[in-house]
Amino acid sequence: MTGEELSFLIDSRMAAWATEIACLSQRRIYYGIEGIAQIFGCSVPTANRIKKSGVIDDAITQIDRQIVIDGNLALELAKKAGTIKIKDETKT
């Protein structure tokens, strides 16, 4: 392998790695029913109803009693279902 080939391989791998890091840093993670309430800008009882409805089940990972929610995926699923009204989508 020549130095030029090695340089090309390193550069291409670094570009792919930078893309992976950017995707992970843009992911919003929330915890618990309070996290669902933050995502949708609603009260805790309403967040409980959203969780029980099953609309955002693919965005929820539950280990024992701990709930972890992928915020971006939850919003996408809610928009797709159209059954949940989102108050303010610009919140981060």
Question: Considering only CA atoms, which of 39, 37, 30 is closest in space to residue 66?
Answer: 30
Q: Which domain holds residue 68?
A: 29-81
Check residues 76 and 92 and name the one with the higher pLDDT: 76
- Domain tally, the chain: 1
The pLDDT confidence band at residue 63, using thresholds 50, 70 and 90, is: confident
Task: Please check the confidence at residue 88 and state whether its pLDDT lies above 70.
Answer: no
Q: Please give the Cα distance from 7 to 3 (Å, whole number).
A: 6
Residue 8 maps to a domain: no
Residue 22 maps to a domain: no
Residue 70 maps to a domain: yes
Contact status, residue 71 vs residue 28, Cβ threshold 8 Å: yes
The pLDDT confidence band at residue 92, using thresholds 50, 70 and 90, is: very low
Residue 6 maps to a domain: no
The pLDDT confidence band at residue 52, using thresholds 50, 70 and 90, is: very high
Residue 21 maps to a domain: no
Residue 56 maps to a domain: yes
Q: Please give the Cα distance from 35 to 52 (Å, whole number).
A: 15
